[in-house]
Chains A and B, each alone.
Chain A
Amino acid sequence: MSKLLFDTGEWTFDTLRRTYDAIEEIAVGEMGLDPYPNQIELISSEQMLDATSSIGMPIFYHHWSFGKSFARQETMYRKGYSGLAYEIVINSNPCISYIMEENTMTMQALVMAHAAFGHNHFFKNNYLFKEQTDAAGILHYLNFAKTYVARCEERHGIGAVERVLDAAHALMDQGVNRYGRRARASLSQELARAEARIAHAEENFNDLWRTVPGAAPKRQVRPQHGEAMSDRLGLPEENILYFLEKFSPKLRDWERELLRIVRNIAQYFYPQRLTKVMNEGCATYVHYKIMNRLYDKGLIGDGAILEFLHSHSSVVFQPDFDDPRYSGINPYALGFEMMCDIERIATNPTEEDRLFSPEIAGCGDAMGALKEVWANFRDDSFVAQHLSPHLTRKMRLFNLADRAAAPHYEITAIHDERGYRKVRRALARQYDPGLRDPNIQVTGADLAGDRRLVLTHRLNDEVPLAERDAIAVLGHVAGLWGFDVELRGVGADEAQRYRYETSAPTPA
């Protein structure tokens, strides 16, 4: 009797369940992965479109930008320019994976292995996710956010809410704590606190107090200047959204809460931006191993493994730089290659590997080494530590330097003895959030004077900001701050490179 889990492309709930069990046995039993409990949900292609346009979350507040992204994706999809995501996985506990009804059974197996075990293991074990996200609370928090935004729209009008959200979205990248210095409340605590704040405000509202005569207005707090003021505001502050939420003189409470929601969500997604290569590499490596193992155990047939390989190889395809299809380094390809490379170094190292990666070379336990890596690195440190000369040669990586002063581009390093370390460093820097995102901080807010807010952009290697967008964002900042705002670009020599100013919006 055939041991095959399935022998047609059609899936049924029964084959889904049996295949999941077989995958789980390999992933947890043999590979020793440690995922959150899984929840697999089956959706239609239209629901997939819906979900991808609200940044992949099943519950999200309403905003026009999601409508825009839906319209775009729908157009692209209908015209056949782009396919749909095969799967969406949510960093929550239990970990929710969406699979699409149109997929064949082989694809369902691939997707379950990829999302429900690969991504899931990564979410649960990587230090960034552990530190910065609250998998248990996220769905509750999103639900709260959705209700809260809807309630604000009812009370204050769609337009008013939209203005705040537009501005908050523009500052989303500047709304995260990069270095985790503060002990952050988990999202469920956030939720409880937010609800308590609202309840408190509602319970204690009594319009009578406004009319009680007598009590002279409190004496003005003595204006503080310079250092004292900066200290009180915690300047310099890199989390601009946080600063505006706490100190903006003009925002109303519900507006602050909206900023807080956007900030919390930005923080939740921040680790995913920092671990794109690793996360996809981990999931791709895991599905590759599992599918092959299913085949080795005789649980899936030749047709299924060929279909899988076809799909897998298009996912990890990396076109060369001069290929018309080239659009940057494919994180799936780089991640998968690096994971496979680590496995090779662990089990079958060369002399060169022993020199470059002494700590894992020849240790024999590939899965152990990989799990260690998945837990403790993010993209930049991962590349800096684990991009081997072997892989540099295999992908034929080279570095192109663009110096503002030079008349030419220069190839500074290729895949040779002299170039390995340089290429590796350059690629790691490409993923370094400190260099990738502009370094912009709040450096001054003259609360006692004209309340002008000063943002300082410290240019890195003289790379400027995209000017039109920067000015537009500055307008949003001024809208939230309520007074004049300026953005100063400062070079390494402390000299000013540029300066944009926006005056406070006149109240509508």
Chain B
Amino acid sequence: MAINVIDRRLNPSGKSLPNRQRFLRVAKETIKETVVRSIRERSLKEVGGKEVVNIPMRRIAEPRLHHAASGGDRDQVFPGNKEFVAGDTLSKPKSGAGDKGREGAPDGEGEDDFRFTISADEYLDILFEELELPDLAKRKLKQMESHKLNRAGLSNSGSPTNLNLVRTMRHSLARRISLRRPKSSEVAEAEAMIAELEALDPRSAADEARLVELRERHAALSARARRIGYIDPVDLRYNRFEPKPQPMAQAVMFCLMDVSGSMTEDMKDLAKRFFLLLHIFLNRKYKHVDLVFIRHTTEAKEVDEDTFFNSRETGGTVVSSALAEMRRIVEERYPVDEWNIYAAQASDGDNYASDSKTCLQLLTEEVLPICQYFAYVEVYDSRQAEIFHSSLNVSDLWKDYQTVPAEHANFAMKRVFSKADVFPVFHQLFSEQRNAAA
């Protein structure tokens, strides 16, 4: 009997995927810690990709009843004797374990940490597991729908472009058959016979009689064909379309940042981390996310990402300029009924005192109503952090903005003192929003 080698290579792979999901479930707490820590410690470019997770063995231990590595009386046979003779003694290592190393561990699993890699998707799932879109945003999502036409059966009326030819012809055929509309071939046949008889010369009496009969018949047939239309208005069927609401799948994210001289690199870095989180977050929720970077000193300008984060300018600070710029861009490029608009503003809190009123008015009357969410983060460098940590010392802008949240649920503000704060603050902003609205 010849052996048959069975090729299993085409069998579906990834058979152990359910096992992996179960494993991630068990190891979740640790993975979460790793993810959060990576946000705090990693440089921006690395965040959001694959992540190596270290899990202490004890958390995912599979305990078995087995002998301890040492203790009691035991014998062990080794290969490769060089100079020992029976009766030789060796000193024991000081504290139990030691130079015998890991030999005591059953099946060689003595390692302390378990390392494995989670994919970018798994990473983000965990990162945003507890963060939900603000409820307000969801409500708005429902309100501000765009529509798409969906096929919805047939109708008796409609525009000619939507005529459903197949259905129409089927109805027409049925009607023609049931009302016995003469076929065009019958009419043609009668005509042919008439022509044949007319061609005869001379015609017999019988032929004449037949000719008359045929002419009557032809007249009756064509009259019937005329009365019963080939296609009648009752045959007509049109494709029907119904507009179906479509949740918007695109969002635009505005990053507003003060780049005046008072913003240090430190502070920009904090702001950047916050923006980055928001960006990742929106990317998870929307098919398409546009980014708009607006930086401002005394006047605002839209710039590209690199300039936004890396170039410096000097000057004073007029916050309202950025808001005005944002409004202008929205009007120009992002119709409110097509885009979900998110904005995040980072600043050290400086603002010209005279701008305070304009700024507030612009924010509450023009910007907030069109935004799904507006987050303001005030960043501090480590030196300032000590001074400002108590909430008594607040900046000008903070003071102004403090009056906002009560009226507008889609506005939130937080202060960020260090890298370690970024994620918790981000988390708070979104979970608070959720709780408040719930």
**Is the contact region of chain A dominated by helix, strand, or loop, or is it mixed?**
mixed
Contact A395 B79 (CB under 8 A): yes
Complex CA gap A412/B396 in Å reads 84
Knowing A46-B13, A67-B20, say if A321 contacts B63 (CB, 8 Å). no
Q: Which of B4-61 contact A (CB under 8 A)?
A: 4-9, 11, 13-16, 18-27, 60-61
Interface residues of B, CB < 8 Å — how many?
62
B224 within 8 A of A: no
Chain A residue nearest in CB terms to B58: A468
Contact A400 B72 (CB under 8 A): no
**A384 CB to nearest chain B CB (Å):** 13
Contact A170 B75 (CB under 8 A): no
Contacts of B84 in A (CB 8 A): 398, 411, 414
**B109 CB to nearest chain A CB (Å):** 9
Complex CA gap A235/B69 in Å reads 30
* Residue contacts A-B, CB under 8 angstroms, 29 given: A40-B3, A40-B4, A41-B5, A44-B13, A49-B16, A53-B19, A54-B16, A64-B23, A64-B60, A166-B62, A173-B65, A319-B80, A322-B80, A329-B77, A395-B79, A396-B80, A396-B81, A398-B81, A401-B73, A404-B71, A408-B92, A411-B87, A411-B89, A412-B86, A419-B86, A426-B75, A430-B76, A463-B68, A465-B66
Contact B116 A71 (CB under 8 A): yes
Contact A43 B9 (CB under 8 A): yes
**B181 CB to nearest chain A CB (Å):** 61
**Is the contact region of chain B dominated by helix, strand, or loop, or is it mixed?**
loop
Q: Which of B11, B73, B79, B86 is the one whose CB lies under 8 Å from A396?
A: B79
A320 within 8 A of B: yes
Contact A320 B19 (CB under 8 A): no
Complex CA gap A440/B115 in Å reads 33
A199 within 8 A of B: no
Chain B residue nearest in CB terms to A51: B15
With most chain A CB atoms within 10 A of its CB, the pick from B14, B79, B92 is B79
Interface residues of A, CB < 8 Å — how many?
99
Contact A21 B76 (CB under 8 A): no
A397 within 8 A of B: yes
Binds B, one of A123-131, A251-259, A345-353, A469-477: A469-477
Complex CA gap A397/B63 in Å reads 33
B103 within 8 A of A: yes
Contacts of A411 in B (CB 8 A): 84-90
Contact B80 A21 (CB under 8 A): no
- One digit per residue, 1 when the CB lies within 8 angstroms of any chain B CB and 0 when it does not, for chain A 455-480 equals 00001111111111110110010000
Complex CA gap A54/B79 in Å reads 33
A38 within 8 A of B: yes
Contact A47 B9 (CB under 8 A): yes
Knowing A17-B3, A397-B79, say if A63 contacts B19 (CB, 8 Å). yes
Contacts of A407 in B (CB 8 A): 91-92
Contacts of B115 in A (CB 8 A): 75
B153 within 8 A of A: no
Complex CA gap A329/B78 in Å reads 7
A89 within 8 A of B: no
Contacts of A75 in B (CB 8 A): 115-117
